[in-house]
Amino acid sequence: MECFMKRNFRDELNQAIDFSSVLTQICAFSSFSCSKEKILNALPQFNKLEIQEQLNYAKEAIQFEQKGGLLNLSGANDISLPVSKAEKQMPLTSKELISIYHFLTAVKQAKQSLNSSEFIELTNLAQSMDGCTRLMDSIISKIDLTGSVKEDATPALKSMHKALVDTRLALQSKSRQFLKKNSSKLMENMTTTVSGRVVVLVRAQDKNAFGGMIHGQSSSGLAYYVEPSSFVADNNEISSLVIRIEEEKKRICKELSMQVKKHALALTSALETLTIIDVAFTKAKWAIRYDGCIPSLQSRDHSLYLEHAKHPLIDEKKVVCNTYELNDQQACLMISGPNMGGKTVTLKTIGLFVALAHAAFPVLCHKAILPFYQSMYFDIGDHQSIENNLSTFSSHISRLSHICQKSDENSFILLDEIGNGTDPLEGASLAVAILEYLISKKSTIITSTHYSQVKTYGKANEHVLVSSVEFDPETLKPTYKYIPGVSGASYAFHIAREYHLEESILKRADFLKNENEKQTEKELEKLEKLQNDVLKQKERFNALIEDAHRVQKEAYEKEKEIEKRKAELDASYQEQLNEMLEKKKAQAKEILTVLRKQKTGKQHEQIEKMHELDLLSENVVEEEQEKKEFKVGDYVKISGLNSHGEIVDIRRNEATVLTNGMKMKVKLSKLEPMHKPQIKKTTYKAHVESVSSRFPLELNLIGMRVEEGIAALDKYLDQAVVKHIKQVRIIHGMGTGALRTAVWKDLKKQPNVSKFTSAGPSEGGLGATIVILK
């Protein structure tokens, strides 16, 4: 029953104020599916403490974002299904296990980012999550980041993988010898695989010449797939090892699944908490992007204030911002004006912001103060019901009857064209009676009307604020500017004249109108015209103030952008220094290891190593400054390689060096200045040199565009093949993943590439690829 009521309420909100469309716009800023689902299922709540708690989270998130804070939840994902499986003692796959690791990584990042006394609510929320560090370590020690069980996850698995490699190598050796010896009896001088077993394609007449097993015949029937007897033992061993490896992997996953079960409660709780955090930051990002604010809900009176409000679904370049206000004595806001003049947009904007505020969302205002309501009712659009045999008016009256029965002083009511759809006199009288009744119940009513009788009632009632949306009679187009205190004319004669209705008809209609108007109404119309002129003067003044605020805001945002950029550059510079320091430490460790291994008799080698250690102790900052002195045209030596050449380009901390007729991208820290050698003319002699000694075994593509990187890769691989290089490393970085994807796609097309895989953790991880050449 409760679910049905919620569904009906949601349908009502969607029909009346496009509530779900706005939620869809908001959830586009979410980091993962759980927060998206929570936002899309949100509804107005009527527990003020719960609403205020969620609004406080969103308010702190806005402050965090505006102060340049960074919260990265890139690893967050919905782990409810794998956790539920683990609780039922169902083994998880390696992919599911690594998804839990990625989730815990996001939890760890959230705890690190939200750890400040400045953001108390979010900090308490983040620090309440259990990071399950031991579980993280257990998973990553056995599962790699791609979701595969590591080959060295256990000693047994490592041993089996080694045995598998050795057996396959032995079988390859046997197969080469077999092919060489029996080439005349084979259809193809190569082996193939059938059901995981290495076989050869033998001529039909020789199918029984080698013993072993026959695994089938070719489509032509002229050849058979034969497993020679000399292959059988190794094929059996390979099959056995593959099965044992898979069983060991399943055992590892089962063991890790039991650990997940032990942490199930902590994981489920962390998922709920991380979802709340992401929802808060989703709201914050939406509010900042569309210039919104956190609404204030008050229970002291019925006053309402929305400053500079704009509807989120209207094009930002076309939307007109307005300020809506009701004081404590005004229970009803009545909006009048011509059709298509913007009355419904005004109603929907106010109604939407009331609903969003009670669902704990920001609203697109500069300032928003709203009463806390405990019920909401909407009657907008055509509610004609075929099923219940109700006409538009009958449905309208049925809805109004329900509202009158259920509403009270804590109700918010939105009524579009009250009393419409029947005889104008009766409809207007009914509208006045309903408004009187709802005002007597102290409900808050936002309504629109065409009827003069209803507008006259509103002007005479101190509890009603009559207002309108401006319409330009010259262009016959609405300006969408909200004008409080002034009722809008219908402009029916202006529109009729524009559409070329007979002038005699218009004159007669004007005469009849004047005859029927009361003198008081004429005086009120004059008064409203004067009031409208004053309001226009006020609008011009407000526009000047708004421009000044806009310029000030742009300057503030520019300053924040510069500060953020400076912080990023400082962080990048510090990261480079740390990276250089780690390299120096590694080099020093290697030198000390060599020194310990050397015998005491080799004093000259010890002196050389000590000299290298002294060089490493030079200040990293000085080395960084030296890098900046390089310029295009300098001749340099590349440390660690027996190469030198001329700098042809410098970008950030990398230089492109022309050496041996080839361009190489090298970090500035690896360059040393040197004098360009003088080339002497000599007679050429035959000389053979190891080609691989001068060829770089890695290619750095970081900083290149995809097209530029692929071109460099193709050229590099061609040169590696010519120089008979068997293994190289391609450094492409992680970044957005576009360059890595393009590299892998290109490697698949390369005829000279035997295989390729991601580098190990010590070789660059997912930021590099190891390529084996044929």
643-651 and 654-659: which strand pairing? antiparallel
Please name the residues in contact with 417: beta carbons below 8 A apart, sequence gap of 6 or more: 448, 449, 450
- Beta strand pairing call for 304-309 and 322-326: antiparallel
* Cα 28 from Cα 24, distance rounded (Å): 7
b/e per residue 335-350 (b: at least 16 CB within 10 A): bbbbeebbbbbbbbbb
C-alpha dihedral sign at 615, 621, 624, 630 = negative
Distances 29 to 106, 288, 652 between C-alpha atoms, Å: 17, 11, 32
Known binding residues are: 337-344
Q: Which residues are annotated as a binding site for ATP?
A: 337-344
> What tokens does 408 get?
């009270």
Tokens of 728: 């190289």
Tokens of 768: 């590099």
Helix (H, G, I), strand (E, B) or coil at 692: helix
How many CA atoms, within 13 angstroms, populate the side-chain half-sphere of residue 303?
9
Residue pair 243/197 in contact (Cβ under 8 Å)? The answer is no
E runs forming strands in 596-670: 635-638, 643-651, 654-659, 662-667
CA angle at 633 for the pair 632 and 638, rounded to the nearest 5°: 85
Which residues face 186 on adjacent strands? 202
**Residues 449 and 431: beta-carbon distance below 8 Å:** yes
- Six token digits for residue 524: 């009120």
**511: its two tokens:** 């005469």
* Alpha carbon distances (Å) from 689 to 380, 659, 692, 693, 722: 87, 17, 9, 8, 14
Biggest alpha carbon–alpha carbon distance for the chain: 125
